[in-house]
Amino acid sequence: MTPDPPAPLPPVPRLAAGDLGRALRAGWADYLSAPHYGLFFAAIYVLAGLALRGLGAGLFTWTLTLSLGFPLIAPFLAVGLYEVSRRLHGGEPLSFPAVLGVVWRERTRQIPWAGAVLLIYFLFWSFVAHMLFALIMGPSALLGPPDDLASYLGGRGLAMIAAELLFGGLCALFLFAVTCVSLPMLLEREVDFVTAMRHSLAVFRANPVVLTAWAALIAGLTLAALVPWFTGLLVVLPVLGHASWHLYRRAVPA
């Protein structure tokens, strides 16, 4: 007997700038409704960030190992926040066993494949960034980056910074385009990760201005949250995670 075909994907809607504000307000309301869930998932990021900072450059192997772990665990942590919002607005009971049970079950579905794609993308991004650094600053920079500010204020240093920002920004935007819809879709629907990422890219192509503004808002708020010893992430990450679910719900109606 042949398996049932997957449910057809919905049409791609048009998003408005006002949808971002509504998603943020809904995300803030979800955070206030169940703050202990947001604090739990965000604390994992904060503790990992503090661990990376504590290890420092002297233990490069451990720092790299933990850094590579972020793309693998990030989708699962995001799924936890999506599931909390889904249950809050779907009238389903909310409890840690229920939410963590869903996160645990995702290990046998498509989320691990999405995490693997993120890891490969992260490695490519890191490799090209190092090559750009060496091409502009010279091969000697591979032995260790210059530790004086003057090296980065000259012509080559400023060109390197501009190139890295441009390359990193484009890579980050593409990564956002293929994950902003696909990760919550993998939680909610029986689709493979390639189909989900293709649909996410289609939603982004249909709404480039609104979703680029959303990506910039996420980047700005996350960067600001890193300043006070990563503690701002305890609020910013859960709110953005819940808000991302509500924006997904507008982009992919139930």
The pLDDT of 136-153, averaged and rounded, is 67
CA distance 229 to 5: 48
* pLDDT (0 to 100) of residue 3: 47
Distances (CA, A) of 19 to 75, 86, 104, 194, 206: 23, 18, 31, 26, 15
Q: Residue 9 — pLDDT band, cuts 50, 70, 90? A: confident
The 3 state secondary structure assigned to 58-83 is HHHHHHHHHHHHHHHHHHHHHHHHHH
Tens-place pLDDT, residues 207-221: 999 999 999 999 899
Contacts 24+ apart (CB under 8 A), 213-220: 213/17, 213/20, 214/20, 214/180, 214/247, 215/172, 215/173, 215/176, 215/180, 217/20, 218/176, 219/172
Sorted by where each begins, the domain ranges of the chain are 17-251
The model carries a pTM of: 0.83
Tens-place pLDDT, residues 37-93: 999 999 988 887 677 666 654 454 555 555 555 666 778 889 999 999 999 999 899
